[in-house]
Amino acid sequence: MRELYQVVEVGPAWYQDNIPCQEACPVRTNCRGYLNLAAAGEFEKAWELALDPNPMASICGSVCAAPCETACRRKEVDKPLSIRYVKKFLSDWTHQNVRVDGHGYTQPAAPVFGKPSGRVAVVGAGCAGLSAASDLAKLGFGVTVFDALDQAGGTALAGVPPFRLPREVIDRDINGIVNDNVELRLSTYVGRDVTLRQLRDEYDAVLITAGCFEPNYPPDIKNLDAAGVMGGIVFLERAYRGRPVEVGKRVIVLGGGYTAMDCASTSWRLGADEVFIVYRRGREEMVVDEEELGETEREGINFVYLAGPVEVTLDEKGHASGVKFVRNKLGEPDKSGRRSPEPIPGSEFVIPCDNVLLALSQNPDTTWLADIPEFRVKRARDLGIDAETYQSVVPKIFFAGDYRTGPTTIIEAVADGRSAAQQIARFLDPIAIAVNVPEYHEIVTLRRSSTPDNVGQIALEGELARIYHNMSVDYDRIPRQEMPKLQKKDRRGLFLEVNQGYTEAQAVAESDRCLKCNFNIEIIGELCIICGGCVDVCPMDVIHMVDMSDIVDDGAIPGVGEAKKWDKGVAFFLDETACIRCALCIIRCPTDAITMNRYGAVMPSIGKTLPKESIDDEIHLDLTIGAKKAARPLPLYDPALAAGYKPITSGGINGNGKNGHNGNGHRGPGSEVLAGTQHGAPSDQSTRKEKAH
């Protein structure tokens, strides 16, 4: 089978796509940036960078679903980085070790710039609502957050066990949100203590982020109203808040998500001898991450797969005594992409139990919306919420978080809340979003340092330093650092945290495993003599020489068409997904035709609050740690210019004394360049492999 190779133009979007951890994060956390800072022992700065786009960063350090780890390119070498647990370490370390004005560290709330320009009511003090409040405060609005519970936190408080998420960790994030423009009104049930109509009339906008706390009771399962049967989310909320719950010796949990895992582990901690999680699909179809699933298994929880509940069996007193199931087989994929369970006739069986917990999803409660006529609906999906603006049919009322999307993860709720804040700001003040600093991109060309240690060499060159590319010693051989866990025999308690946290040495070692995906190889066609040395030396088979006739392009890059006219032309195919940034190809090249480009970016600001992310965290590291020089400053953004858009002009100098940026219009110098039998190969293109059938 012949292989064809697709040429794509290299620019900021291409570079950013090649940082998969950041692209996978719903709030675009610069994971790679704070890992590199942590690897150098800059724990406080690393924490600031991790916290900047995510006001719930402490919570996420303990219980994030970690899509960044799923995307991490290190898994192609051995195992993905433990990004979540490095973040947990950074939060713990900073709160334990940093002092501010003689006092213990607390996460800083958004600065207040004068009188609020509008007032917003947020219903629900969970991760979506609090994240929205944080961004709205940064945008200059006053926010009042209402919640029926006497503590803020939402699902993180009422649905996540304290042995996974200590309550003081939730308080860390809340402390970083409440300021003079953000007020919490707890123990206030909207719909009883105050009506939604009142909020609509008193505030300029209302955001509903009330979560999903209504258990799903499937009508095709009989006797779900019997004694001994309880919704999983209700069970968790009561257990974690010290209210009495019934837990017998044998407990069955129906479901296969995070709520099911938490119900099972909590039941075991409250005295159950045998706990069964029964799931209608197979293990591969479960939506929980492998570590969570493995920990539940290690606690002795029994898993029964491919079994669908038919009815709850009852004893003579009408109390649950077991669950009748039918065996399933997997059929065609459904809309979620998972294969649908199909019952096998005649395969019924019963598992005896004392209690049944339902973890079969949750729904939003819509009954308290009824004083607004447009919201008198049976299901939340009938509320008519605009998918782009988050706005309802009542213009002043917006929806976000699980209430809008259905049950999701904490980090997805954070992202949804932040997006809703932007939409509300646009609704209240059309120019509020316009104060954003635009995205700013820079590409710095590096050479390989001759010093094989953990600190790159610095060669001062004009106003800036020319930075050399160095990876840490043995970075490709450091194994994934396993989280120290509480032993099973010591876990019989709801408030005994299972994850004991990394040591400093573990955090540094784990961070050192990062492959620095913001680095990309550039081959300068004018210097390449096509000797093939780079191909021979590459340990990961990243670089290939291919015939120009196998190159496919759409004509967007004129130089490619010209290169294809060369007789016996040769191109280099670079598989960036496999590159480990060892730079052996750079060392091997006899003509200095190969360099390493470092890509950095500053994301847009939120109102008058600029991001903490520097142009490139590694320039900070190289200059402050390697040469003991001051870090290169950011471009002179002026947050006081809130009236309009501030463009970025070119003129920066990169490490080679050449222009390194040009605002949003920058086109990269080509991290992957075709080399042919003639000089003058085009510079703004890359070769990527596509299969031809």
Task: Report pLDDT digits (tens) over 43-54.
Answer: 998 999 899 889
Tokens of 401: 């978080």
Contacts of 463-466 with CB under 8 Å at 24 or more apart are: 463/653, 464/632, 464/653, 464/654, 464/655, 465/619, 465/622, 465/623, 465/627, 465/629, 465/632, 465/655, 466/655, 466/656
Q: CATH topology of 119-213+365-428 equal to that of 216-363?
A: yes
pLDDT at 686 over 50: no
Ranked by mean pLDDT, the top range of 293-297, 322-326, 646-650 is 322-326
DSSP structure string for 626-657: IS--PPPPPP---TT-TTS--------B-TTS
Which whole number is the average pLDDT over 243-268?
A: 95
Question: Residue 92 to residues 85, 135, 168: CA-CA distances in angstroms?
Answer: 10, 24, 11
pLDDT band at 608 (very low <50, low <70, confident <90, very high): low
Cα separation, 40 vs 456, whole angstroms: 11
Instruction: Convert the pLDDT of each residue in 137-161 to its tens digit.
Output: 988 899 999 999 999 999 999 999 9
598 bridge partner residues: 444, 519
| pLDDT score recorded for residue 559 | 76
Confidence (pLDDT) at 438: 53
Question: What stretch of H or E contains 333?
Answer: strand 320-333
Report the Cα 232 to chain-centroid distance in Å: 26
Residue 661 is predicted with a pLDDT of 26
pLDDT at 178: 92
For position 582, what pLDDT does the model report? 86
Domain positions in the chain are 3-13+517-691, 119-213+365-428, 216-363
Nearest to 351 by CA among 296, 391, 309, 385: 309
Sign of CA dihedral 291, 292, 298, 302: negative
Residue 549: what pLDDT? 81
Residue with the bigger pLDDT between 356 and 440: it is: 356
Q: Is the Cβ–Cβ distance between 417 and 401 less than 8 Å?
A: yes
Q: What is the pLDDT of residue 613?
A: 54
pTM over cut 0.85:
no
In percent, how much of the chain has pLDDT > 90?
53
Query: Residue 291 has what pLDDT?
Result: 86
- Range of weakest confidence among 490-494, 499-503, 616-620: 616-620
pLDDT at residue 601, rounded to an integer: 72
Q: Residue range 495-500: average pLDDT?
A: 94
194, 369 in Cβ contact below 8 A?
no
The pLDDT tens digits of the residues spanning 202-250 come to 999 999 999 999 999 999 999 999 999 999 999 999 999 889 999 999 9
CA-to-CA distance for 239 and 242, rounded, in angstroms? 5
- Nearest of 136, 138, 140 to residue 115 by alpha carbon: 140
Distance, in Å, from the CA atom of 237 to the CA atom of 230, rounded to the nearest integer, reads 12
Confidence band of 597 (pLDDT split at 50, 70, 90):
confident
Question: Encoding tokens for residue 207?
Answer: 């955001």
What does the alpha-carbon distance between residue 468 and residue 456 come to, in Å, rounded to a whole number? 6
Q: Which two tokens stand for residue 386?
A: 């605009």
Q: What is the pLDDT of residue 334?
A: 82
Is residue 651 over pLDDT 50? no
Q: Which two tokens stand for residue 112?
A: 């207040």
> pLDDT tens-digit profile of 426-478?
999 877 654 444 555 666 666 554 443 333 333 333 333 334 566 776 788 88
The answer on pLDDT for 329 being more than 90 is yes
**Which residues on neighbouring strands pair with residue 362, listed in sequence order?**
215
Closest CA to 69 of 82, 58, 78, 56: 82
User: Given 1.10.287.3510, 3.40.50.1820, 3.50.50.60, 3.60.70.12, which CATH number is that of 119-213+365-428?
Assistant: 3.50.50.60
pLDDT tens per residue across span 386-434: 999 999 999 999 999 999 999 999 999 999 999 999 999 999 987 765 4
pLDDT of residue 611: 58
Nearest to 309 by CA among 354, 254, 227, 347: 254
Q: Are 358 and 226 in contact (CB under 8 A)?
A: no
Query: What does each C-alpha distance from 645 to 221, 626, 634, 642, 649 come to in angstroms?
Result: 58, 37, 17, 8, 13
Residue 645 has pLDDT above 60, yes or no: no
Per residue in 581-605, is it b (16+ CB within 10 Å) or e — as a string?
bbbbbbebbeeebbbbbbbbbbbeb
Q: Of all residues in the chain, what percent carry a pLDDT higher than 70?
A: 81
What are 687's strand-pairing partners?
7
**Minimum mean pLDDT among 495-504, 506-515, 555-564, 587-596: which range?**
555-564
Residues 6+ apart with CB under 8 A from 452: 470, 473
Tens digits of per-residue pLDDT, 116-140?
889 999 999 999 999 999 999 988 8
Residues 462 and 465: their CA atoms lie apart, in Å, by 7
Sign of CA pseudo-dihedral 642, 643, 645, 648: negative
Higher pLDDT, 603 or 271: 271
| CB neighbour class for 411 (10 Å; exposed up to 12, middle 13-18, buried from 19) | buried
Q: Which amino acid is at 274?
A: E
Crossing angle of helices 127-138 and 410-428, in 10° steps, is 40
Q: Given the DSSP bridges, would you call strands 349-352 and 320-333 parallel, antiparallel or unpaired? A: antiparallel
Amino acid making up residue 97: N
Beta strand ranges found along 198-306 (DSSP E): 205-208, 214-215, 229-231, 250-254, 274-278, 302-304
CATH of 216-363, one of 3.20.20.210, 3.40.50.150, 3.50.50.60, 3.40.50.450: 3.50.50.60
- Average pLDDT of the segment spanning 334-361: 92
What is the pLDDT of the chain when averaged over all its residues?
A: 81
Lowest-confidence pick of 18-22, 286-290, 548-552:
548-552
Residue 673: band (very low, low, confident or very high) from pLDDT cuts 50, 70, 90: very low
Which tokens in the block code for residue 416?
């949804």
Higher-pLDDT residue of 325, 333: 325
- Position 537 scores a pLDDT of 93
pLDDT digits (tens, 9 = 90+) for 164-174: 999 999 999 99
What pLDDT score was predicted for residue 568?
74
Tokens found for residue 310 = 């038919």
Q: Which residues of 433-472 are buried (b: 16+ CB within 10 A; e: fewer)?
A: bebbbeebbbbbbbbbbeeeebebbbeeeeebbbbbbbbb
The predicted pLDDT at position 76 comes to: 87
Say how many C-beta atoms besides its own lie within 10 A of residue 4's C-beta. Answer: 14
pLDDT at 451: 40
- Around 245, how many Cα atoms within 13 Å sit in the side-chain half-sphere? 28
Residue 257 has pLDDT above 80, yes or no: yes
On whether the CB atoms of residues 258 and 362 are closer than 8 A, the answer is no
Between these two residues, 628 and 601, which has the higher pLDDT value? 601
Q: pLDDT tens digits for 653-672? A: 222 222 222 222 222 323 33
